[in-house]
Structure formats: structure tokens, C-alpha cells
Chains A and B, each alone.
Chain A
Amino acid sequence: MILTGVALVGCQKASDQAAAPAPTTIKIGLAGAQTGSDGQIGLSMLNGSQIAIDEWNAKGGVLGKKIETVVLDDEASAQKAVTVAQSLIDSGVVAVIGHFNSSCSIAASQHYNDAKIIEISPGSTNPTYTDQGFPYTFRVCGRDDQQGATIATFLHDQLKLNKIAILDDKTTYGEGLANVVKKSFEEKGGTVVMFQGIGKDDRDFRANIAVVKGSGAEAFVWGGMYGQGGPLCVQLRQAGLNIPFVSDDGCQDQAFIDTVGGNAENVYVSFGKDFSTLPAAQPFIKKYKDTYQRDVGSYSAYGYDAANVLLTAIDKAQSTDADKVAAVLKSQPFDTILGKIEFDSKGDLKEAGYVIWTVKDGKLQVLPSTP
């Protein structure tokens, strides 16, 4: 009886689904974390994409059809991302913008690939995502190996340091980045005196800091998000260690500055170009603020770009067929608010453009001397 009941519930759904597909629209999936601790940053990314899609719809849509979005929440969990991917595929989307977390994008990518659906991630930086060799996976942000190399170069060549300590949060993203930093720093002839991970909900770093203190490290690299990076930096300073604290794009957030303090010294964060000062981005920033009554998140512009690039490619290909769109994406450069971008054969950006940012006057600003 239970099973029948359950089956009926499912059946109900089937009739809903049958009513849904309208031939006059093109469906685009927007997937990413919307709830949980990555919810804010994920939502600001999806909002950016939504603005781009609304702009296209105002212009009359693409291929003469209106664009419809299907927005789903993967709760930053890879297992949920797989379910979300299946739902998106079933609802007949032609392309997906997302996911935000690397682990989610990687887990979902095989399903999109099997279903021949383009996936463009605005925020997943883990190399594995595009290294799987799927023809339909793209990203409009950099890769962790590019980012890690930037951090290693900065530490070794610009700050002239030889001994660093690395701590990561053992997630796909944090650990992946930490591994790359370690590898490229050692290739340059430096030594990594501490290489450890810590649980994602642990916020007492005293023991790690004591180890760092004893090891004589000259800089501390954190691979992870701002929720732990902030307290870590504060505890490092409280322990009397004023060595450079270097982190990744996961700490590119105002909340990080709020924790470490507006005039923290020797704090560096690697991230893409500063779009808040680019003239091309100004209309978008203003529009975002008008629509959502809050400032742009650090990934909003990437979300906006991902949607624009995707729709331009569909328009140029004059088709929603994944093969044709992918061919267009890989064949020509695109103008975005972050500048001209071009995809390589794997779906990565040819130039990632990572730069080092530092804390200045209560904000993160690009370090002037970055090459």
C-alpha cells in the first residue's frame, strides 16, 4: 500500500512534467549551492547569470525563442549535485551554468556529458573538472594549477622566501590547491616544512600554529574557504607570527576582511582580475545592486560572463546542439566584462589572469607590483 502511495506521488509528478515542455522556449539550467554555508557566494553567482539571461530575454531571447531558467540547489554536496544533474537533464535543459563547488561540478559532469549537455562552471577551479576529457565541460575561471603556480611564484620570486607551511581543509578544492602550491614551490627549489590538513568544521588552529612556529616557516599558505581562513589568520597573529599569510580565491570575500581586520598586514589572496574598477563591468555592478539590493559577490561577474558566453555561442552556432555550440566556444574569442577570453581544447581559459590581492584600507585590492 505504501509503495502504491509512493508510486502515485511519482505519477502525479509525471503529469506535471508532461505539461511543462513548451516548444517556444530554450531552457538553461542554473545549478549551484543556494543554502548552507556556501549558499551566499553560490547564490550571488547564479544571480549574475540570471541578470545576463534577463538581458538576453529583453533583447528578444536567442534563436528567436525566449530563454527559460531552471534553478536548482545542490546544497554544496556532490551527492545532491548528481541528483540535481539528473533533474536538469530530465527537464530538458540545453546547457547548464554551474556548479559552484568543484566537487559538485566534477561529480555532475559525467551525467551532463552522457546527456550531451554543455556545462559551464563560473567558479570550479579544480583541475580534474576539465581534465576528465569531456568535450562539453567549460569554465570561465582559472584552474587551481594556474592559481597555485601564481601563489608559489609570488612567494618564491617576489617575497624571496624558501620555507613555507601549508594547511588545507581537506576538500577537493582546498586540498587540490594545496597540492599544486606544494608541487610548484618545490619545483622552484623551496621547501615545504609543514603540509597538513584539518577538518572542515575545526576552528582551533593552535596546534598547527605551534608546529609552524617550531618549523621556522617564513610564510603560511591556507587552502580553503574564508570561514576557516579568517580565524586561522587571526590566531596566527595572536600567536605572534607575523609571517605572510597567503590564501586562495576562497578567501576573496568581504567576510574574510571583516575577520582579519581592515588593515591587516602581510595578508595576500590570489584571485582573478579586479572587475570592480573595469569600465565594462560598471553597468553590471549597478544593475546587480538595483535588482538584488546588495553588492555583487566575488563570483557574480563570472556567473554573468558564463551566461553571456554561452548564449553568444548558441546564437553564433544557430543551434542548441551541444557539439555545434562546443565547437563555437572552442573556436573563437569572446568579449566579456572581464576582458577578452578564449577557451583551449579542454574547455579551460587560455589565460587565467590570476593576480595577488592584499588587504588595504578595509578592502581587498590588487597588489600593485604583481606582474
Chain B
Amino acid sequence: MTADSTSTLTEILVGGISRGAMYALVALGYTMVYGVLGMINFAHGEIFMIGMFACVYAIGAFSVAWGDHIMLNLTLGIMVAMIFSAAYGYANERIAYRRLRKAHVLAPLTSAIGISTFLQYFIFLTVSKDTVNFPRYYSDYLTNHHINLGSAEVTYLQLTILGLTLVIMTGLFYLINFTRLGIALRATAQDQLMASLVGIPVNRIIAFTFILGSALAAIAGVMFSMYNNVLVFDAGYRVGLKAFTAAILGGIGNIPGAVLGAMILGLTEALTTLNFGSQWDDPATFAVLMLVLMLRPRGLLGERVADKV
């Protein structure tokens, strides 16, 4: 009996961490844009959703072009998804943010909400009003093979998700703290005018932030659709909401903070399911958020946002 319950607990924890890892990939995009611009990128959840669909379209096109090669099509599919999401992220920045950068903070936020609604219903109207199945031929290998962790099973897909998140987080952390690009990014976050005076191409840096965040969201999107086996036009809303909560939990603008917050959220949801049932997911998330905001108002690892005076 005890062996049984430990294996349940381990499986729940693994599931929670995998879910947290996908939230983390999306949360990184939120936190980077917030860190640089001091604004919520409300359309980020939809960029994540676009990534899912772009990948499936790409896989379909490659399958027509040269047949079903799992590794090749999947890798290329993820790349196409990243390119498409990045393009949508860039378009989002150009349309909804760039011209409104100097306006009141509500203006870009509203236009981003507009973009988000537009994209959601664009996919709803043009692609499918219903769920679309992820082609399981490509994900079967990852989902059906597993390693044993004690008595619990961890699928290759879960390992992939975890590995990717860790690698990306480390890479980002390095990029921001130890490269010239990172210095430019941080300078832009501190003060755009000063940054431009010392020769930093502010516009390009901000666009780069959006593109990078969107490409990460695309990876999360592909993983998410493989993990859940379906794609649907409104998938971005819920994940976006959770990821944004995660970014705030960890301290907005803080890269390790976003990952930590996302993991905490994933585990909270998993443990709530074990103890109270999955219907209490959202209230539990909200309780954690309120608790953190009351005890550590600047997030678990502290904000990294320049206070604009």
C-alpha cells in the first residue's frame, strides 16, 4: 500500500513539474517583456497558441513534401513554429506596442488585449472551431517510452520538457547577465533614453525581447500540444494567465524567479488534485498568489524592474 501511494505521489510530482516547466517557458516571455518595457504583454498567451498551430501546419506540409520522418519533421516543425511565433511576436510589438510606448500604460495594454482577442478568433474562424488532434505518429515515441523512477514512470516527453526548460533558463540567464546583448537589454530596461544616448539601438533591443520571448512560447506550445494531444484556439488564455501569475510569484522581471514561480504553480495544481480534486486548482492558485503578495510583496526572488520616476 505504501509503495503504491509513494508511486502515486511521485507521478503526481513529475506531472506537476512538467506542467510547471511548460508554464515556465511561457512565463519567461512575460517576465522579459515586463522587465524591459514595464508592461504586461497580454497577447503572449496567443503567441503560444500560434506556435502550436504553426508546428502542426509545418509537420503537415513536410509530410506532404517528403513523407513522415519523425525526427526531421518534428525538429523542423518546432523551428517553423518558433519562426512563426517570433514573427507574430514582432508584429505584435510593431502594431500594439511601438507606437504606444510613450502613451499611458493602459493604451498598449488595451491594444495587446485587442491583438489577443483578434488572434484567438482568427484561428477559431480560419483553422478550427473545435479541437485539432496533434499527429500522434510524431509524439508516440516520446509518450510511450519511459524510465522508471522508483515505482513511478517518467515519460521521455516529460524528460524532454524538463531538460529544455533548464537549458533555456540557463542560456537566458547567461545571455542577460554575461553578454554585451544582455548589458544592452538591461540598460534599455533601466532607462530607454539614456540607453539610446550611449548608442544602444533601443527599438531593436525591444523587438529582440519580443522575438525571443515568442520563440520560447512556441517551444512551450509544441510541447504542450504533444503532451495534451490536442490543439485548440483558446488554449493560450489559461496558460497565459497561469504563466503570468507565475512570473509575479517569482518576482517580475526575474528570470530564475519566473521558473521558480511556474514550478510552484505546477506543483500546487498537482498536489491540489491529489488532496482535494482538480476542481480546486484555480482557487488554490489564487490563494498561493495572495499569500505570496502579502508576505513577500515583491515576489519570491524579488522584482527586477526599474522604478520609473
Q: Using a Cβ–Cβ cut-off of 8 Å, how many residues does chain A contribute to the interface with B?
A: 35
Q: Which residue of A lies closest to B237 (CB)?
A: A201
Q: Which residue of A lies closest to B6 (CB)?
A: A214
- Provide the residues of chain A in CB contact with B155, threshold 8 Å: 238
A255 at the interface (CB under 8 A from B): yes
- Provide the residues of chain B in CB contact with A238, threshold 8 Å: 143-144, 155
**A226-265 interface with B by 8 A CB criterion:** 227, 230-231, 234-235, 238-240, 255, 258-259
Q: Using a Cβ–Cβ cut-off of 8 Å, how many residues does chain B contribute to the interface with A?
A: 37
Known: A196-B273, A211-B12. A201 touches B234 (CB 8 A): yes
Contact between B130 and A37, CB atoms less than 8 A apart: yes
How distant is the Cα of A255 from the Cα of B7 in the complex, in angstroms?
34
B245 at the interface (CB under 8 A from A): no
Say which residue of B11, B227, B277 sits within 8 Å of A210 (CB atoms). B11
How distant is the Cα of A122 from the Cα of B144 in the complex, in angstroms?
41
Known: A227-B131, A238-B143. A204 touches B228 (CB 8 A): yes
Contact between A231 and B228, CB atoms less than 8 A apart: yes
How distant is the Cα of A235 from the Cα of B229 in the complex, in angstroms?
8
Say which residue of A37, A202, A214, A230 sits within 8 Å of B278 (CB atoms). A202
Q: Which residue of B lies closest to A253 (CB)?
A: B130
Contact between A170 and B279, CB atoms less than 8 A apart: yes
A133 at the interface (CB under 8 A from B): no
Say which residue of B133, B234, B274 sits within 8 Å of A211 (CB atoms). B274
How distant is the Cα of A92 from the Cα of B238 in the complex, in angstroms?
41
- Provide the residues of chain A in CB contact with B273, threshold 8 Å: 196, 207-208, 211
Min CB gap A4→B, angstroms = 28
Min CB gap A234→B, angstroms = 5
A61 at the interface (CB under 8 A from B): no
Say which residue of A37, A167, A203 sits within 8 Å of B228 (CB atoms). A203
A36 at the interface (CB under 8 A from B): yes
B212-230 toward A: CB 8 Å interface, digit per residue (1/0)?
0000000000000001111
Besides A211-B273, A235-B229, 5 more A-B contacts (Cβ < 8 Å) are A199-B278, A199-B279, A203-B229, A207-B278, A234-B229
> What are 11 A-B contacts defined by CB distance under 8 Å?
A195-B277, A198-B279, A201-B235, A204-B15, A206-B19, A211-B273, A213-B11, A214-B8, A230-B131, A239-B153, A259-B229
Residues of chain A having any CB pair with chain B under 8 Å: 35-37, 39-40, 167, 170, 195-199, 201-204, 206-208, 210-211, 213-214, 216, 227, 230-231, 234-235, 238-240, 255, 258-259
